[in-house]
Amino acid sequence: MSETEALKAKLLGEIETASDLDALEALRVAALGKAGSVTGLLKTLGGMTPEERQAEGPKIHSLREAVTAAIGARKAALEGAALDAKLAGERLDMTLPAAAAPRGSVHPVSQVMDELAEIFADMGFAVATGPEIEDDWRNFTALNIPETHPARAMHDTFYFPDTDAEGRAMLLRTHTSPVQIRTMMTQQPPIRIIAPGRVYRSDSDATHTPMFHQVEGLVIDRGIHMGHLKWTLETFLKAFFERDDIVLRLRPSYFPFTEPSAEVDVGYAHEKGRRIVGGNGDDDGHAWMELLGSGMVNRRVIANCGLDPDEWQGFAFGIGIDRLAMLKYGMDDLRAFFDGDLRWLAHYGFGALSVPTLSGGISA
Ligand code: DAH
């Protein structure tokens, strides 16, 4: 056997039995590294006569190829075995009974947001979103809220110290209404959206938290009037509270971004010491509860977004989601919503698999 063949047999044998990746790497360096045995053989080619080189050259090159291939194959095998061992060690017991594992729950706010999306999707509304860090043009100016409006004051709004690239003051949005602006500036009418999300105000007591949730509604089309608004709200509230005796009362009001504006009250009754939405507020034992703000989108707001207010009209509304959840599911302290108390969540939370659907019952 020639020197080359002997070396080949020895190296391939060692590679085949290398016990781990470190041992294999040591073998690779000893054979193919700068001072390696195969590298050394390759160097001898330089000192050979042309005839010797013609005879030995192919043998030495094929030795190098065989060693390289064997190392690659052994490396793949060792890595595969290492992965198998790791997976075997991390094995999960899928047969563990689910009831024994800690149970999560869907927060009532998330549940109500899902219910809203489901109900409004059925009426052809898409869900839109906007950032919680907003600029003062979209949060106030474009919505026709004047510089002097009290909502802009430092004690009502959380401002950031720096402005954006366009020199606009940055703030935590105080309502979901800026999503109206974002939508009208990026979509051609007809528009039908709801925009649920977090909003922030510098306000904190038993019924106010610095962060809370709203859902905005916006419809822009031709020939929209307040009848569309009232029908939409009535249809939504019947589906949401899952009863047909929902009676609405629209009270004239003022919001800078709607004209005319209306606050919407819903009739309620006391049942078992709780306010239950439903029934006509004019009857004995019933009363009206303020539920949301709404109105026809102010022409100035439509024009601020680059649309022609003579062609496009619409209505908008804004509702407090936390309030909706409290009314529907009977919680009375808003602060508990954001305490993260597991007992509260276990009691008021929803199962992750009970997705609200109109056909299956919205909160079933
Ligand atoms: N943005 C108002 C607020 O936060 C709520 C509101 C009122 C939204 C009337 C509307 C609307 O879209 O038409 O108090």
Any ligand 1 atom below 6 A from CB of 114: no
Measured in Å, residue 198 CA sits from the centre of ligand 1 at: 14
Sequence-distant (≥ 6) Cβ neighbours of residue 223 within 8 angstroms: 313
Q: What is the mean pLDDT of residues 56-68?
A: 92
Residue type, 166: E
Answer whether residue 336 shows pLDDT above 80.
Answer: yes
Measured in Å, residue 319 CA sits from the centre of ligand 1 at: 7
Check residue 205 and give its pLDDT.
Answer: 79
The alpha carbon of residue 230 and the mean position of all alpha carbons in its chain are separated, in whole angstroms, by 31
Integer Cα distance of 247 and 265 in angstroms:
8
Integer Cα distance of 110 and 89 in angstroms:
37
Atom of ligand 1 nearest to the CA of 218: 12
Q: What is the mean pLDDT of residues 150-177?
A: 91
Confidence of residue 208 (pLDDT cuts 50, 70, 90): confident
Pairing of strands 191-200, 126-127: parallel
Look up residue 278 and give its two tokens. 């439903």
What 8-state DSSP symbol labels residue 188?
P
Tell me the percentage of the chain whose pLDDT exceeds 90.
Answer: 70
Any ligand 1 atom below 6 A from CB of 175: yes
Answer whether residue 129 shows pLDDT above 70.
Answer: yes
Integer Cα distance of 364 and 358 in angstroms:
10
Residue with CA at minimum distance from ligand 1 atom 12? 317
95: number of CA atoms within 13 Å, CB side?
A: 0
Residue with CA at minimum distance from ligand 1 atom 5? 318
Integer Cα distance of 48 and 53 in angstroms:
6
Any ligand 1 atom below 6 A from CB of 318: yes
Contact predicate 146/256, CB 8 Å: yes
Integer Cα distance of 288 and 269 in angstroms:
9
Name 279's bridge partners.
246
Task: Report helix, strand or coil for 330.
Answer: coil
Residue type, 40: G
Check residue 32 and give its pLDDT.
Answer: 94
Least confident of 25-29, 171-175, 246-250, 359-363: 359-363
Measured in Å, residue 107 CA sits from the centre of ligand 1 at: 24
Measured in Å, residue 332 CA sits from the centre of ligand 1 at: 23
Answer whether residue 286 shows pLDDT above 80.
Answer: no
Check residue 218 and give its pLDDT.
Answer: 98
DSSP structure string for 174-229: SSSTHHHHHHHHHSPSSEEEEEEEEEE-S--BTTB-SEEEEEEEEEEETT--HHHH
Integer Cα distance of 268 and 291 in angstroms:
11
Check residue 283 and give its pLDDT.
Answer: 57
Check residue 149 and give its pLDDT.
Answer: 86
Atom of ligand 1 nearest to the CA of 295: 13
Measured in Å, residue 255 CA sits from the centre of ligand 1 at: 7
Any ligand 1 atom below 6 A from CB of 294: yes
Check residue 122 and give its pLDDT.
Answer: 95
Integer Cα distance of 80 and 84 in angstroms:
6
Q: What is the pLDDT of residues 304-327, one digit of tens each?
A: 999 999 999 999 999 999 999 998
Sequence-distant (≥ 6) Cβ neighbours of residue 362 within 8 angstroms: 115, 118, 119, 239, 240, 242, 356
Any ligand 1 atom below 6 A from CB of 258: yes
Sequence-distant (≥ 6) Cβ neighbours of residue 73 within 8 angstroms: none
Any ligand 1 atom below 6 A from CB of 264: no
Measured in Å, residue 345 CA sits from the centre of ligand 1 at: 29
Measured in Å, residue 297 CA sits from the centre of ligand 1 at: 11
Q: What is the mean pLDDT of residues 151-179?
A: 92
Q: Which long-range contacts (CB under 8 A, 24 or more apart) does 39-45 make?
A: 41/3, 41/4, 41/7
Answer whether residue 280 shows pLDDT above 80.
Answer: no
Atom of ligand 1 nearest to the CA of 216: 12
Confidence of residue 364 (pLDDT cuts 50, 70, 90): low
